[in-house]
Structure 1
Amino acid sequence: MSKPRKPKGRAISGWLVLDKPVDFGSTEAVGKIKWLFNAQKAGHAGTLDPLASGMLPIALGDATKTVPYVMDGRKIYEFTVSWGEERTSDDLEGEVTQTSDKRPSEEEILALLPNYTGVISQVPPQFSAIKIAGERAYDLARDGETVEIPSREVEIHRLTLLKAEKDRAFFEVECGKGTYVRSLARDFGRDLGCYGHISGLRRTFVAPFAEEAMVPLAELVALEEIEDRDERLAALDAFLMETSEALSALPQIRISDDQAHRIRMGNPIILRGRDAPVDEPEAVALAGGKLVAIGEIGQGEFRPKRVFA
């Protein structure tokens, strides 16, 4: 019987908050970071289109187990809508399908925004990762097919007009999971009777990571010039955030090393003290500031559901 293959790379864990450049795909960015850090595993929390820049949180190693918690977080985008053209992809990459000489006034734009605040119904773009009959919508669109993508509810927490010019307008939006900013631009243009598409898009925030945490890709690539491997990897590791940073919104309990050992063996631990949480569907156990497990609290016990090395 053959031995299981040992994973290639380092068993490191943590989050890198990448400032992704334009013309660089999310999958390409993850591959580059995984290679730079010589990590065994890597994944991202929320795709950014190649034409978009900004925050792309990348999880390395055990931190990939916390990706769903970041995917569910709020996001903030700054985006530019150019008026007068609707495109197949709802951004600069697509072919022009509709044109108009009409241009909206600032007053017309401002009057429209309340319609796009709160829980709204939105149809994702034809060029999106939505699955239709088992296939990605963008694959069908590239083959020339027009598919019916069902609408879905998304939540817009805040939508602000930053500046209005004759041929374009600049916005900022704070939104929930699954929101397509390209769809906002398309629908703005249709409602205003002038058509529109995204001509600039930057993500500045993905909860719980702040904009100040972003690291430009060029800054990381520049470290390739360090010839000493250990020195180079240490310089890269300095940019990593603790795995637990992705879980800051969950209740936290502090435990001893002995309790951490019990949890890592898959056993529950008893919580004592008058300040101990009573019932929590999800909570985080930390030992010495390091993430041990995500679990549930009930009947005076912490029961692990997902354990970290």
Structure 2
Amino acid sequence: MLQTKSVGHSGTLDPMASGLMVLLIGEATKLSQYILEKNKGYQLKAKLGVETDTLDMTGKVLRTEMDLPAPERVKEIASELHGELNLQVPIFSATKVDGKRLYEYARKEQEVALPHKIMTFFDLQWIDQGLDFIELSIRCSKGAYIRAWVDLLGKKLGVGAALSELVRTESMPFHLSQALSLEQLAEQMSILGSDLEKLERGFVPMSAALPEARSVRVQGQDQAMILNGLISHDLRAQLISAYRPGQGDLIKILSQREGEMLALVGLEPGRGFVVKRGFRYGTK
């Protein structure tokens, strides 16, 4: 569909999940490590009074509980489950233990010690609630498992809980409202061809991919040198002026005329400013 061999993404989704998937096309695949580490946002629905082997409603039911806590109690406990939490990684996940993914152990019914991982959850917002379900939005750190958070809530309530619906709404700094569905993208591409920049929405130039990073524009000799992985004396002076401690370690180098991304520069102890990533000129 996109007529390119180089396509990356901003992080996998669980099989039952839907929502935002940021695609990195062509030269933008070089931004993968920086996009992947960003926080994510989700809208979830969970069923109370049930435990499953997958921690969601697609799995085998292990336990049910009819005597459920009052909605006020559910809200009280859920509101306490924020910040850094040391949670067990779900066995139905792609995390590797001794060279094998956990879901491989699960499918073969083999025993394995499940690792724990620090996961950060924040900005919980209630959407809806009933006697046996909750619906809310939540943000989390890279690699956090929403299923694990729901399972912890169920354990704290003493009745169990399992994820029933999950939609990724954010992959920082991008939001689902900016995106196109696959069907919409296919329709647009049939009209516009392979020129993604003509999309009314859904396309983001590389220069806008890391909005928290400061930028410096270059031209002439400074541009020629940075395209070869070198930092000129004049550019180094601009970088020193642009750098702000505590506001991110990366600075975007953009072309003066077109504003195209030429490189990402970072500050390293003992080395000063170095080119972290270079990009082919003429690929926005």
TM-score scaled by structure 1? Answer: 0.80
Name the SS for the 1:173 alignment partner.
strand
Shift of 1:282: 2.4
AA in 2 matched with 1:206: S
AA in 1 matched with 2:95: I
Shift of 1:237: 5.7
Note the alpha carbon deviations across 1:214-267, whole angstroms, 9 max, x for none. 1111112335755xxxx4323686243112322221221111143222111121
AA in 2 matched with 1:218: E
Q: Distance in 2 between matches of 1:273 and 1:164?
A: 53
Of 293, 298, 305, the match for 2:263: 293
Shift of 1:297: 4.7
Distance 1:63 1:89, change over 3 A: same
AA in 2 matched with 1:308: F
Which moves more between the two structures, 124-133 or 273-282?
273-282
What's the counterpart of residue 277 of structure 2?
306
Of 251, 261, 267, the match for 1:283: 251
What's the counterpart of residue 207 of structure 1?
172
Distance 1:215 1:278, change over 3 A: closer
| Equivalent residues of 1:277, 1:297 under 8 A apart | no
Does residue 185 (structure 1) correspond to residue 150 (structure 2)? The answer is yes
What's the counterpart of residue 46 of structure 1?
11
Shift of 1:108: 1.1
| Equivalent residues of 2:216, 2:238 under 8 A apart | no
Q: What is the RMSD computed on CA atoms of the aligned residues?
A: 2.4
Distance 1:235 1:41, change over 3 A: closer
Structure 1's consecutive aligned runs of 4 or more residues displaced over 6 angstroms after TM superposition are none
Name the SS for the 1:70 alignment partner.
helix
Matches within 5 A, 1:122-141: 122-141=87-106
Q: Distance in 1 between matches of 2:111 and 2:92?
A: 10
What's the counterpart of residue 183 of structure 2?
218
Q: Distance in 1 between matches of 2:143 and 2:238?
A: 41
Note the alpha carbon deviations across 1:94-116, whole angstroms, 9 max, x for none. 11112211222211112212431
Q: Which runs of 5 or more residues in structure 1 are unaligned?
A: 1-35
Which moves more between the two structures, 56-65 or 289-298?
289-298
AA in 1 matched with 2:10: A
Distance 1:254 1:225, change over 3 A: closer
Of 71, 79, 96, the match for 1:106: 71
What's the counterpart of residue 233 of structure 1?
194
Q: Which runs of 5 or more residues in structure 2 are unaligned?
A: none
Which moves more between the two structures, 203-212 or 56-65?
203-212
Does residue 167 (structure 1) correspond to residue 138 (structure 2)? The answer is no
Does residue 155 (structure 1) correspond to residue 126 (structure 2)? The answer is no
Note the alpha carbon deviations across 1:67-92, whole angstroms, 9 max, x for none. 12111112111100112221111112
What's the counterpart of residue 253 of structure 1?
216
TM-score scaled by structure 2? Answer: 0.87
Q: What percentage of aligned pairs have identical amino acids?
A: 26
| Equivalent residues of 2:20, 2:175 under 8 A apart | no
AA in 2 matched with 1:293: A
Distance 1:291 1:55, change over 3 A: same
Shift of 1:303: 3.0
Q: Distance in 2 between matches of 1:139 and 1:274?
A: 48
Of 15, 20, 28, the match for 1:63: 28
Distance 1:264 1:98, change over 3 A: same
What's the counterpart of residue 11 of structure 1?
none
| Equivalent residues of 2:216, 2:239 under 8 A apart | no
Shift of 1:212: 2.4
Number of residue pairs matched by the alignment: 270
Shift of 1:38: 1.0
Distance 1:223 1:248, change over 3 A: closer
